[in-house]
Structure 1
């Protein structure tokens, strides 16, 4: 489903990723851990095609992301990927329902599932609220609902429980597992939380020498 081949990336002369290769299978839930600054978020951005590697390739279903023009890459992200990033990127001028429905509308699908996804993340009955009325943890849950609403084939999650209390975080992780299993989707979750990582099928640690599998 997803293959990384000899990825390299540097910023300002500092090498962040070097010769990184790994294969992710369809349907598996993978957690990536590692020290701050080692390149975990950079790796997610490269996988998503939001950033370009200096060297190497990202293959999605055998197709190099670098072979896609901007429009094709946008269509691929919009239809096949879901994103949960630390900055949330919730649109302030849209209601919660409109924010969550956006991937469906962009893909030409009916928006009916948006309301049920808001309820699934604990925000039922708040469809017409605006982001300014929410806490940081609630905004994170809106971003999670939006990432899942169109049943993406690949979910990319950067610290998806970082702003949540332990009980809410556990419920959200259960939802991520249930949604990805139901659709046969793959998921890659960057996290510092060992409790969150324990929900994954595999745990990888990103180091300067690449991705290493671990059991804890």
Structure 2
């Protein structure tokens, strides 16, 4: 007997997402995008076009004027504030340019935070530190680490609770090229291994080269990098 495969929802779907800051400045204009599980997508575009705004809307740090964000098939707009917070806490991981590692906590304590917030046992933090090349550093404090090592901690923390979606905002902006290469390779490898989807905002062509797809944000919409509409918006520098 033939059994039809179960349709798995996209890890992320933005439907007709719009955001206007003033009467003359529309940042996002009915934007649509989907990310599948295991997909690594880079978002590029000129400064000020709305790349960070898009991440903030997905993360729930800002509210769209219209449209919806679906995470693992669940529309955020259908949830009350508490339920939306729980879904983001369980399904999302964040990697920031500034690391946001808590200085008074050990590396293992930093990585364990998402597990504790979700009521999960903290033991996986130990394994994630090893996975990002920091085995044996569990009890070190952030001040003992280099910038590249701190970003590894941030990646471990973003992935430790096995989220559906990783949001990365200029994750290599503070790193030298060699360290950036290592961190991006690690982020891609861990994204694939965990079956997460990653949306990375970056100005760097070198960083975008690690992605499965590159999308350019221009005129409030996302275009494939080889789309003529995106060409004028694509940065020509690192």
Q: In structure 2, what is the Cα distance between the partners aligned to 1:157 and 1:203?
A: 14
Q: In structure 2, what is the Cα distance between the partners aligned to 1:141 and 1:62?
A: 29
Q: In structure 2, what is the Cα distance between the partners aligned to 1:175 and 1:139?
A: 13
Q: Which residue of 2 aligns with 1:28?
A: 39
CA-to-aligned-CA distance 1:18-56 (integer Å, 9 cap, x gap): 221222222211111111111111101111222110111
Q: Which residue of 2 aligns with 1:76?
A: 87
Q: Which residue of 1 aligns with 2:26?
A: 15
In structure 2, relative to structure 1, the CA distance for the partners of 1:124 and 1:12 (3 Å cut) is farther
Q: Which residue of 2 aligns with 1:153?
A: 164
Q: Which residue of 2 aligns with 1:144?
A: 155
1:3 to 10, 13, 16: 13
Q: In structure 1, what is the Cα distance between the partners aligned to 2:167 and 2:97?
A: 11
- Asked if the contact 1:140/1:163 (under 8 Å) is kept, the reply is no
- Asked if the contact 1:89/1:143 (under 8 Å) is kept, the reply is yes
Q: Which residue of 1 aligns with 2:54?
A: 43
Give TM-score scaled by structure 1 length. Answer: 0.89
1:192 aligns with 2:199: no
1:53 aligns with 2:39: no
Shift of 1:133: 4.2
Shift of 1:171: 1.8
In structure 2, relative to structure 1, the CA distance for the partners of 1:132 and 1:183 (3 Å cut) is closer
> What is the RMSD computed on CA atoms of the aligned residues?
2.1
Q: Which residue of 2 aligns with 1:173?
A: 184
Q: In structure 2, what is the Cα distance between the partners aligned to 1:111 and 1:209?
A: 41
Q: Which residue of 2 aligns with 1:96?
A: 107
Structure 1 unaligned blocks of 5 or more = none
Q: In structure 1, what is the Cα distance between the partners aligned to 2:73 and 2:114?
A: 24
Q: In structure 1, what is the Cα distance between the partners aligned to 2:39 and 2:148?
A: 26
Shift of 1:137: 4.1
Give TM-score scaled by structure 2 length. Answer: 0.82
Q: In structure 2, what is the Cα distance between the partners aligned to 1:209 and 1:43?
A: 10
Q: In structure 2, what is the Cα distance between the partners aligned to 1:100 and 1:128?
A: 11
Q: In structure 2, what is the Cα distance between the partners aligned to 1:88 and 1:16?
A: 26
Work out which of the two has the higher radius of gyration on C-alpha atoms and give 1 or 2: 2
Shift of 1:210: 0.7
Shift of 1:138: 3.8
